[in-house]
Amino acid sequence: MRNHKLRVWLGIGLGAAAVVAAAVGLAPDPPQVSLLASAKTQDRVLKDIDAAVYAPAQYEAYAEAVRRAQSELSAQREKFYYSRQYLTFDRLCQGALQAGGMAERVTRESRMDFQRRTMDSRQQTSDLIASVRSRINRIGLSNPNRGSLVRAEVLLREAEILGSQNDWFEAHDRVATALSLARTAEMEVQQRSGRLTNDDLLRVWDNWVHETIHVSSRAGSKAILVVKTRSTCLLIESGRIVRSYTADLGKNGVFDKSYRGDHATPEGKYKIVKKKGAGQSKYYKALLLNYPNEQDIRDFRRARARGLIIPRSRLGGLIEIHGDGGKDKNWTEGCVALDNHDMDDLYSRVDVGTPVTIVGNYSAYDRTFR
């Protein structure tokens, strides 16, 4: 009897002690807490592989699952020891672990996909840049898109560095921008050079060149031929090239001049009407041409009548072959510019009345002049 009472009082005492321990927060955490710790450990792994960047939705789902498990644990800890139940907490921990595993898997797959796409796009962009440069060189354009292409190449190098650091997200962004710049350059070159390969225009230009060479050959005279696609000024004597000079053209030199201020170099058959020595020209020395000629005036009036240019436009003039060139770009307001050494040479070899033919392109250039 005495032993029975002792066991009863002992049980009551232990129960009371448990209540007191729970009340003061001394009750031990359940075994499931280790699951939450494991779920939290996943966060370090996910941050190391940039899950928030490559799998943002999955990473946020994982983070929310951890928050819910933590919140449930806190809610249970606020209860008396004997009132706590951890079934929901256990389920939430399991969910957090699963969400973390999903986030890690999607992240690694996404990183591999970014890597593959970046490498494919980088090769595509590199090929496109090479193609644009080749086209520019082939038709003789003075690279109007150099800035865009150089920037694209810089971005490709940055992407390569980022890829070596496994930062494929940023690398892909650099390559995408580079590809956009290269495509823009391609479109601009196409727009600028389209007329230079037009069959009807080529027939006209080819006839001008043949006439110029034929007259020079028959008369044993000199003539100047400017081929805009080649950025080249040729001195012809007796039908043969005796000098070749690199020429800078108008800012819109690949187009035919339509009106004053369009920064295009005119196309047509002209002649030198005045020689300006050093001090007589803004640009060292100059050979003034008879632009506009009668054909230019007719074309201008026709274009204005058709509404192709605004009514208040003027035809302009003062087109020269002058010095201060050699800038390796098209920069003039429509003139043909040579470097001063070449200008000295050309100036000394021609006279007032020397014919000057300016063409956009010449289909037989390589066969005729090489």
Residues 62 and 185 grouped into a single domain: yes
Residues 141 and 220 grouped into a single domain: no
- Any domain includes 147: yes
What is the 8-class DSSP label of residue 81?
A: G
Query: CA-CA distances (angstroms) from residue 10 to 32, 66, 170?
Result: 30, 41, 68
> Crossing angle for the helix pair 87-139 and 146-164, nearest 10 degrees?
140
- State the pairing for strand pair 222-227/355-359: parallel
- The predicted model gives 288-305 an average pLDDT of 89
This prediction's pTM: 0.56
Residues 214 and 91 grouped into a single domain: no
Q: Which range of residues forms the domain containing residue 229?
A: 198-369
Per-residue pLDDT reduced to its tens digit, 42-84: 889 999 989 998 999 999 999 999 999 889 888 988 888 778 8
What number of other Cβ atoms are within 10 A of residue 196's Cβ?
19
Residues 130 and 47 grouped into a single domain: yes
**What are the phi and psi torsion angles at 6 (to 5°)?**
-65, -40
And the tokens for 312? 């208040």
Residue 329, domain CATH = 2.40.440.10
Query: How far apart are alpha carbons 110 and 121 in whole angstroms?
Result: 16
* pLDDT cut 70: percent of the chain above it: 87
pLDDT value at residue 353: 95
Comparing 254 with 20, the larger pLDDT belongs to 254
Reported as half-sphere exposure (CB side, CA atoms, 13 A), residue 209 has a value of 24
pLDDT value at residue 137: 59
Residues 119 and 170 grouped into a single domain: yes
- The predicted model gives 285-309 an average pLDDT of 88
- Any domain includes 336: yes
Per-residue pLDDT reduced to its tens digit, 1-14: 444 443 433 344 43
pLDDT band at 28; cut points 50, 70, 90? low
- CB neighbours of 80 closer than 8 A, spacing ≥ 6? 19, 22, 23
**What are the phi and psi torsion angles at 356 (to 5°)?**
-130, 115
**C-alpha radius of gyration, the chain, whole number:** 40
Beta bridge partners, 234, equal: 225, 244
Query: How far apart are alpha carbons 96 and 89 in whole angstroms?
Result: 10
> Crossing angle for the helix pair 33-48 and 87-139, nearest 10 degrees?
10
Mean pLDDT of the chain: 84
Per-residue pLDDT reduced to its tens digit, 81-115: 778 888 888 899 899 889 999 999 999 999 899 89
177, 179, 184, 187: CA torsion to nearest 10: -170
Per-residue pLDDT reduced to its tens digit, 260-286: 888 889 999 999 999 999 888 899 999
Comparing 82 with 361, the larger pLDDT belongs to 361
Residue 18 pLDDT > 50 = no
pLDDT value at residue 270: 96
- State the pairing for strand pair 222-227/232-237: antiparallel
- The predicted model gives 246-268 an average pLDDT of 85
Per-residue pLDDT reduced to its tens digit, 312-340: 778 888 999 999 999 888 889 999 999 99
Comparing 175 with 315, the larger pLDDT belongs to 175
Residue 291 pLDDT > 90 = yes
pLDDT value at residue 145: 52
Q: What angle do CA 336, 348, 337 make, to 5 degrees?
A: 15
Chain Cα centroid distance, residue 123: 14
pLDDT band at 185; cut points 50, 70, 90? confident
- Any domain includes 302: yes
- The predicted model gives 348-352 an average pLDDT of 96
Residues 239 and 282 grouped into a single domain: yes
What number of other Cβ atoms are within 10 A of residue 60's Cβ?
14
Tell me the H-state helices in 140-292.
Answer: 146-164, 168-193, 199-219
pLDDT value at residue 263: 84
pLDDT value at residue 73: 87
pLDDT band at 366; cut points 50, 70, 90? confident
pLDDT value at residue 205: 94
- Any domain includes 110: yes
Three-state DSSP state, 168? helix
**What are the phi and psi torsion angles at 290 (to 5°)?**
-85, 50
Residues 350 and 239 grouped into a single domain: yes
- Any domain includes 3: no
Residues 234 and 364 grouped into a single domain: yes
Residues 146 and 240 grouped into a single domain: no
